[in-house]
């Protein structure tokens, strides 16, 4: 075995290769170390983007949703009328769904601390059940375009299904499947964020509002869900230690 005295850019970097006298040169070690560092940089960059998205988008949207649900912030006229048709279900939907969205990053971040992950995950599950079950009648009672209401309805069903499938997988001790299903559930939850960005963009750009509203009610959650489903390595990277 050659000595591991080769200079590394970062002494804490882990180099996942087996060193033999003949095969390993200093240049090879240096290149491997640089690759490890580059991978770490990419991972840290992704984490910073996620944190920025959470603080700039998720937190304000959830604060407004909870304020609207508690009657502290005025709803737009159509939503105000919807709230008067479903005075309990709609506020419950707004508050519980927003709490689910707020809690999701915390529960994911606590994934290696079962003493926090389990109770917080159960509480998050309760909010998803209430938020999802109340979304279904709200979608039926809404006067929004039919295509949009159908999108919300299918989103609610998908949300609940992913939660149930995630719970069943962890009861079978299938941790990997549980992680993938819960990430998919969170991706569906983020639909509330992308939906508002898309519909807000339609207002700013003067695009046909009803069409964008209907498209956003589907694309807002299906695109993030498709990304998470199609790129499990990206998700695994985000969840890496």
Give the binding range for ligand HEM (CB under 6 A) out of 44-52, 110-118, 151-159, 161-169.
Answer: 151-159
159 contacts ligand HEM (rule: CB under 6 A): yes
List the end-to-end C-alpha distance of the chain, in Å, as a whole number: 30
Q: Is 218 in the site for ligand HEM (CB under 6 A)?
A: no
CB of 183 to ligand HEM, least distance (A): 14
> Does the footprint of ligand HEM cover residue 181 (CB under 6 A)?
no
Interaction between residue 189 and ligand HEM (CB under 6 A):
yes
3-state secondary structure the chain: CCCCCCCCCCCCCCCCCCCCCCCCCHHHHHHHHHHHHHHHHHHHHHHHHHHHHHHHHHHHHHHHHHHHHCCCCCCCHHHHHHHHHCCCHHHHHHHHHHHHHHHHHHHHHCCCCHHHHHHHHHHHHHHHHHHHHHHHHHHHHCCCCHHHHHHHHHHHHHHHHHHHHHHHHHHCCCHHHHHHHHHHHHHHHCHHHHHHHHHHHHHHHCCCHHHHHHHHHHHHHHHHHHHHHHCHHHHHHHHCC
State in angstroms the smallest separation of the CB of 240 from ligand HEM. 26
At residue 179's C-alpha, the angle toward residues 158 and 169, to 5°, is: 75
Among 79, 123, 165, 239, binds ligand HEM (CB under 6 A): 79
CA 178, CA 165: separation in Å to the nearest integer?
8
Tell me which of 125, 156, 166, 224 binds ligand HEM, using CB under 6 A: 156
Do the Cβ atoms of 202 and 212 come closer than 8 Å?
Answer: yes
Residue 86 is a binding residue for ligand HEM (CB under 6 A)? no
User: Is 216 a binder of ligand HEM (CB under 6 A)?
Assistant: no
**Residue sitting closest to ligand HEM (CB):** 142
- Residue 166 within binding range of ligand HEM, rule CB under 6 A: no
Number of residues that bind ligand HEM (CB under 6 A): 28
Would you count residue 61 as binding ligand HEM (CB under 6 A)? yes
Smallest gap from Cβ 94 to ligand HEM, in A, equals: 4
Q: Least CB distance from residue 76 to ligand HEM, whole Å?
A: 7
Regarding 191 and contact with ligand HEM (CB under 6 A), the answer is yes
- The binding site for ligand HEM (CB under 6 A) comprises 61-62, 65, 68, 75, 79, 82, 93-94, 97-98, 100-101, 131, 135, 138-139, 142, 144, 148, 152, 155-156, 159, 188-189, 191-192
């Amino acid at each position: 075995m050659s000595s591991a005295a080769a200079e590394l850019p970062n002494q804490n970097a882990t180099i996942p290769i087996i060193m033999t006298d003949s095969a390993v040169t200093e240049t090879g070690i240096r290149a491997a170390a640089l690759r490890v560092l580059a991978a770490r940089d990419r991972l840290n960059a992704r984490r910073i983007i996620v944190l920025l998205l959470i603080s700039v988008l998720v937190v304000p949207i959830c604060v407004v949703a909870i304020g609207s649900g508690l009657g502290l912030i005025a709803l737009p006229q159509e939503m105000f009328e919807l709230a008067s048709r479903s005075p309990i279900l709609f506020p419950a939907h707004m508050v519980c769904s927003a709490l689910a969205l707020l809690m999701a990053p915390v529960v994911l971040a606590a994934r290696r601390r079962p003493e926090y992950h389990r109770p917080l995950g159960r509480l998050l599950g309760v909010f998803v059940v209430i938020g999802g079950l109340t979304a279904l009648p709200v979608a039926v009672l809404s006067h929004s375009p039919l295509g949009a209401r159908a999108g919300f309805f299918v989103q609610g069903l998908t949300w609940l299904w992913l939660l149930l499938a995630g719970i069943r997988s962890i009861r079978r001790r299938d941790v990997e499947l549980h992680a993938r299903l819960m990430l998919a559930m969170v991706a569906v939850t983020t639909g509330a964020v992308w939906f508002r960005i898309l519909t807000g963009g339609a207002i700013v750009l003067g695009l046909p509002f009803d069409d964008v509203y209907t498209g956003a009610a589907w694309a807002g959650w299906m695109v993030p869900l498709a990304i998470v489903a199609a790129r499990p390595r990206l998700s695994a990277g985000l969840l890496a230690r």
